[in-house]
């Protein structure tokens, strides 16, 4: 392809999907009791989340360095490809800022690099990346691929339900849900990402949260946003049930069912269930 798609590791698309679409990745970092490691090097999510449940201090996370981006960008440019680099919401991470700083160091070749703030995370970011990859595969130039990514983001709706606000509180990422903390032990929050983590609504039980996720998927089906997906953290049974319910609504299976990894997981904790979509015409 004339245009290479670069992203970070926070889309959490399955490895086979990343390979199929030729997506290049720049990894974020996790800093924990075992030292600093690239998220891309953590394959045992079960072990990570088992440690997270009992950790007196949460692991911290950090964005890739400028050098990390240049190590991916420069060989692609040397091979004659333009680049569209799509990243985790700038309101949540400095990743997209690092990408922009790396671009500025490329001199005249910077014109061939388009950096896009997805203004979302996880599955939402993944769908934006897949939309861009589809445009690149169909021969669009860099500007058109970046425009497809922005259009996909405009069409995107993605939600996630979590067990507790405690991890967000401890990590300082509570944002607009701060007012919910007083009742945090009695609610199951449903949130979204609009540049930062944003509250949607509160429900009382895990089952009600699940049914609200089904309702929200139904709204996507009614809107024609049939390129849909499901993600989870340590909730494979619930994710499989949501995928089955969604398949009934959409008349076709999800594009992706996958587990969210340590960088985002360290901030939201186990028990997350997420879903949403964009029109499949963008994919």
pLDDT tens profile 188-217: 889 999 888 888 888 888 999 999 999 999
| Separation of alpha carbons 229 and 274, rounded Å | 8
**All domains in the chain, ordered by first residue:** 3-27+63-155 (3.40.50.10170), 157-282 (3.30.1180.10)
The answer to whether residue 182 scores a pLDDT higher than 60 is: no
Neighbours of 154 (CB within 10 A): 10
**In whole numbers, what is the pLDDT of the chain averaged over residues?**
93
- Angle (nearest 5°) at CA 150 between 148 and 151: 65
Is the model's pTM score more than 0.85?
Answer: yes
| Rama region for 167: left / alpha / beta (φ>0; ψ in -120 to 50; rest) | alpha
pLDDT tens profile 219-262: 999 999 999 999 999 999 999 999 999 999 999 999 999 999 99
The DSSP secondary structure of 1-48, one letter per residue, reads --EEEEEEGGG---HHHHHHTT-EEE--EEEETTEEEEGGG---HHHH
The answer to whether residue 178 scores a pLDDT higher than 70 is: no
User: What pLDDT is attached to residue 130?
Assistant: 98
Q: Which two tokens stand for residue 219?
A: 């709204």
Residue 111: partners with Cβ closer than 8 Å, 6 or more residues away? none
In this prediction, residue 165 has a pLDDT band, given cuts at 50, 70 and 90, of confident
User: What pLDDT is attached to residue 172?
Assistant: 60
User: What pLDDT is attached to residue 103?
Assistant: 98
Of 12, 23, 24, the residue nearest 255 (C-alpha): 12
Q: Which secondary structure element, helix H or strand E, spans residue 229, and what is its range?
A: strand 227-232
| Separation of alpha carbons 244 and 247, rounded Å | 5
Of 263, 259, 269, the residue nearest 29 (C-alpha): 263
User: What pLDDT is attached to residue 90?
Assistant: 95
pLDDT tens profile 99-153: 999 999 999 999 999 999 999 999 999 999 999 999 999 999 999 999 999 999 9
How does 242-263 read in b/e, with b if 16+ C-beta sit within 10 Å? bbebbeebbeeebbbbbbbbbb
| Separation of alpha carbons 210 and 268, rounded Å | 17
Alpha helix stretches (DSSP H) within the chain: 15-20, 45-54, 66-78, 95-104, 122-137, 142-155, 166-171, 206-222, 236-250, 262-268
């Amino acid at each position: 392809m004339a245009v290479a798609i670069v992203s970070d590791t926070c889309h959490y698309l399955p490895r086979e999907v990343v390979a199929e679409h030729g997506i290049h990745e720049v990894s974020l970092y996790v800093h924990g009791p075992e030292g600093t490691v690239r998220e891309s090097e953590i394959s045992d999510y079960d072990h990570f989340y088992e440690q997270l449940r009992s950790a007196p201090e949460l692991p911290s996370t950090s964005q890739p360095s400028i050098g990390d981006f240049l190590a991916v960008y420069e060989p692609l440019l040397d091979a004659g490809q333009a680049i569209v680099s799509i990243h985790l919401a700038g309101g949540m991470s400095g990743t997209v800022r690092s990408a922009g700083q790396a671009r500025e160091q490329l001199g005249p070749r910077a014109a061939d690099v388009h950096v896009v703030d997805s203004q979302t995370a996880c599955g939402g970011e993944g769908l934006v990346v897949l939309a861009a990859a589809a445009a690149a595969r169909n021969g669009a130039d860099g500007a058109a691929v970046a425009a497809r990514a922005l259009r996909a983001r405009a069409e995107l709706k993605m939600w996630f339900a979590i067990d507790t606000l405690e991890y967000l509180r401890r990590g300082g990422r509570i944002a607009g849900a701060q007012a919910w903390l007083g009742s945090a032990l009695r609610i199951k929050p449903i949130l979204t990402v609009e540049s930062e983590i944003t509250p949607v609504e509160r429900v009382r039980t895990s089952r009600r949260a699940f049914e609200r996720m089904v309702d929200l998927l139904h709204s996507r089906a009614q809107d024609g946003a049939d390129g849909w997906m499901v993600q989870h953290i340590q909730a494979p049974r619930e994710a499989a049930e949501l995928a089955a319910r969604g398949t009934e609504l959409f008349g076709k299976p999800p594009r992706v069912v996958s587990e969210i990894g340590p960088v985002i997981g360290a901030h939201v904790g186990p028990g997350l269930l997420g879903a949403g979509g964009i029109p499949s015409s963008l994919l």
